[in-house]
Structure 1
């Protein structure tokens, strides 16, 4: 397993290099940050001086090589807006995003797993059809629309929860539900399909023929073998939760990495945008590696090479 992990980490270097290269050139296509940083009546001397200070007067390929050299030393540069190291700003906002993504994942799985099992066991019933209607509706609604509906219902109409901001449990409920709603519906549908397929296999019929209780058959045999595709999707969606936080944090004014990224793009803060995208990509790669390792513990028949 150690050999497999080291090989995946080696491949991850090239993935992150590709991400770093793409984000570098895409940010430069958005325009000149100096035009935003200086007042409209700034003279040419001021513009040239600021461009030289920021290193933007160098040819693009030279800027790129300097950028790669700094990345080798884990130096993301200084924010053009806050004049602080981009890594410090990222570390300051990252806990809020991880807290939101973790809450979204927890809420999604706590609802999706029982709902998926119930729909599979009640296949074709009114309960199954009701759950699937919610699932289909949930997968067709974008995150920002779910967030707006939640605000209209629980904040404006019922006045139970705040419309946005950062704080205790009351502040995280709606953002977490909005962010994890798509994952919840996707996991429910996938677990239902997987469990229905497993319940029709020979070894499940044999377990029932031996007189095992229905609960034992489901929990010890059927559910465990149904979790492999679910773990794959959940792992991929965990990375998507980090990326999807950009929209959710903007809707709910949640002070995390997503909201900071939107503001950095608006101000053409190249170092901060680059640091955020590379960090999110690194998290996505790490989560996929963890998912692959979890396969071995869920199903010992799987061997990583």
Structure 2
């Protein structure tokens, strides 16, 4: 296991380095921050001082080398717009995204596993058809369209929930609901397919012949062996949310890392963009490690 974790750490570090190189140079194509933060009639001296203050006078390769050296000292630089450490700005926004992702995935995972298992128990029945139909629509529906319709209907139409913000529990209802629809549909379909295979296996047929209760047969005997592909999909969806639910966070004005990245790109706040990429990539790396450990816990046949 230690050898496996070491290999994963090395491969993740290489991927992260390549990502930093790409983001560092591509972000500079958005333009000079001086044109955005200083008045149009600012003097050349003021422009030179601004560039020198933020290390923008040097050639790009020099800027990149200095940035890498600072990273080795765990110095992510300061935000140009906020005049604060970039890492602190990102961690604060990432906390909001982490809360949103955790609440959403908890609801989605429990609901999809229960409903998908029940749908698989009687394939072709009324409940199975309804669950399959709804999950397919949810998996195919675009987030931005659902978010806009939800605001028009539930916020502007009925006035049940706020349109944006995070002040109260009601502010979380629409972002969580909209963000849940797609992963719920995908996970439910995977649970249903995996459970159909598990319920048709010999050990489940033996349990049924012994008179085991349907609830125990589904959630005790079959579910554990059906969980490996389900965990993969759950991990992919969770990683996608940690990567920033950009559309949902932007539409609902949710102060997460996805919205922060979009705002920072528009504001040419390069250090915040890079810090957000690094924090998110590290979180996804940890998520993948946890998924691999879950595989080993569920199936003792797996050896790394």
TM-score, normalising length: structure 2: 0.95
Cα distance, 1:68 vs. partner?
A: 0.8
Q: Which moved more, 1:262-271 or 1:201-210?
A: 201-210
Q: Residues 6-17 of structure 1: matches in 2 within 5 Å?
A: 6-17=6-17
Q: Deviations over 1:78-102 (max 9, x none)?
A: 1111111101111222221111111
Is residue 177 of structure 1 aligned with residue 151 of structure 2? Answer: no
CA distance in 1, matches of 2:274, 2:29: 13
The answer to whether the Cα contact below 8 Å between 1:151 and 1:163 also exists between their aligned partners in 2 is yes
CA distance in 2, matches of 1:204, 1:280: 41
CA RMSD, 1 decimal: 1.5
Cα distance, 1:244 vs. partner?
A: 4.0
Q: Which moved more, 1:95-104 or 1:285-294?
A: 95-104
Hey, what does 1:285 align to over in structure 2? 285
Hey, what does 2:124 align to over in structure 1? 124
SS at match of 1:62: helix
The answer to whether the Cα contact below 8 Å between 1:264 and 1:270 also exists between their aligned partners in 2 is yes
Q: Deviations over 1:221-273 (max 9, x none)?
A: 21111111010111121110122422211111112222222211111100001
Hey, what does 1:230 align to over in structure 2? 230
The answer to whether the Cα contact below 8 Å between 2:139 and 2:184 also exists between their aligned partners in 1 is no
Displaced runs of 4 or more, over 6 A: none
Q: Residues 1-80 of structure 1: matches in 2 within 5 Å?
A: 1-80=1-80
Hey, what does 1:167 align to over in structure 2? 167
Hey, what does 1:197 align to over in structure 2? 197
SS at match of 2:183: helix
CA distance in 1, matches of 2:151, 2:7: 46
Q: Deviations over 1:165-200 (max 9, x none)?
A: 112321112111212221111000100011111111
The answer to whether the Cα contact below 8 Å between 2:244 and 2:256 also exists between their aligned partners in 1 is no
Which structure 1 residue ranges, 5 or more long, are not aligned? none
Pairs aligned (count)? 304
Hey, what does 1:82 align to over in structure 2? 82
The answer to whether the Cα contact below 8 Å between 1:179 and 1:244 also exists between their aligned partners in 2 is no
Q: Residues 149-160 of structure 1: matches in 2 within 5 Å?
A: 149-160=149-160
Which structure 2 residue ranges, 5 or more long, are not aligned? none
The answer to whether the Cα contact below 8 Å between 1:261 and 1:276 also exists between their aligned partners in 2 is yes
SS at match of 2:30: coil
CA distance in 2, matches of 1:24, 1:142: 30
Hey, what does 1:295 align to over in structure 2? 295
Hey, what does 2:114 align to over in structure 1? 114
The answer to whether the Cα contact below 8 Å between 1:239 and 1:287 also exists between their aligned partners in 2 is yes
Cα distance, 1:164 vs. partner?
A: 1.2
Cα distance, 1:77 vs. partner?
A: 0.6
The answer to whether the Cα contact below 8 Å between 1:175 and 1:248 also exists between their aligned partners in 2 is yes
Cα distance, 1:278 vs. partner?
A: 1.2
The answer to whether the Cα contact below 8 Å between 2:97 and 2:244 also exists between their aligned partners in 1 is no
Q: Which moved more, 1:213-222 or 1:25-34?
A: 213-222
Hey, what does 1:262 align to over in structure 2? 262
The answer to whether the Cα contact below 8 Å between 1:19 and 1:281 also exists between their aligned partners in 2 is no
Hey, what does 2:208 align to over in structure 1? 208
